[in-house]
Amino acid sequence: MRSAYHVREYEVWKLGMLTGDVDIFLSHDWPRGITRHGDERRLLRTKRFLEEEVRNNALGNPYTAPLLDKLKPSYWFAAHLHTKFAAVYEHKDAGKCTKFLSLDKCLPNRDFLQAIHIETEGSASGEDVSSSIRYDPEWLAILRAAEPYRSLGRQAAMLPDPETFRAEVEKQREWVKQRMSEDADFNRIPHNFELTLPPYNPHERSAGQPEFHPSPQTLHLVNKLEIAMPHVGVNQPEQACEAENNPDEIDLDEEEEEEEGQTHDVLVPRDCCFRQLKCWQVNAGKDEKNEEEISLDD
């Protein structure tokens, strides 16, 4: 059995439009070619079945790899392969580097947690910035400019050329700038982080897809920007579309996915309609010193 991990061209295209500095880039899978900038031998000692893909430079996502070169983030964090792997990717043309880190599963005696300190604009001066998390104005403009090209069906919209889209982004930046002048808190992220789904209960078996629960953060963002809910097409959660029953769908709750012998193909079908599932967990890790750990604060 081969696993396919889908990434929409639309999403990669939007990220490629960013022009400002990027401190942290988060992705599920690794950008293709990153293993060549870390300890491949150690990786293959723990994941021997990846040897062919590593040798053929086929491991990782080929569609996010160009974002590594374009955005040049200070840090890139990923997961997917259930192993700890660190690399330093040098951008020779810019005189800077990206520190890549992937962590293991959240299980006992596994390297799944590492803490780092990120400097912010106010932290160096001692200013308290914990209550001032904000959306990036350029990204807000990109989201508004890209809204007409977002497809919720099987047929993807034709994406415009970069120059045409950049002109639209600049127009939307003026819209964002105007809103920020009218409301100083327009791009402030509210403190409405809350539980949106019931926690996992190992004693209860899932009865199919869970009920739709919109994130308060997402609702706040789309209402601010006057755009539709992503992957739903409406702002009202009660109007969310229900997933169609697919007789060929595999129930992933049946058994734990086998790691050994599986391959990781990355496909980008322009006409693929999919559900986006995100699970964020915060777990405690080991405190002892790991000789393989890299210092991300240097």
Provide CB contacts within 8 A for 255, sequence distance 6+: none
Q: Which residue has the higher pLDDT, 171 or 126?
A: 171
User: Cα(36)–Cα(24) distance, rounded to whole angstroms?
Assistant: 21
**Per-residue pLDDT tens for 140-174?**
999 999 999 988 778 888 999 999 999 999 999 99
Token reading at 286: 């080991």
Asked if 165 and 15 touch (Cβ cutoff 8 Å), the reply is no
Asked if 83 and 46 touch (Cβ cutoff 8 Å), the reply is yes
Say whether pLDDT at 268 is over 60.
Answer: no
Provide mean pLDDT across the span 67-84: 94
Find the DSSP H helices in 117-250: 137-146, 162-182, 216-225
The pLDDT, as a whole number, for residue 186 is 93
The pLDDT, as a whole number, for residue 48 is 92
Give the DSSP H or E segment for 4: strand 3-6
**Per-residue pLDDT tens for 200-209?**
888 888 777 7
Provide mean pLDDT across the span 27-31: 93
Mean pLDDT rounded to a whole number for the chain: 77
Question: Which range, of 75-89, 112-126, 132-146, 243-257, averages the lowest pLDDT?
Answer: 243-257
How sure is the predictor about 5, in pLDDT bands with cuts at 50, 70 and 90? low
The pLDDT, as a whole number, for residue 216 is 87
Burial of 248 (0-12, 13-18, 19+ CB in 10 A): exposed
pTM for the whole structure = 0.72
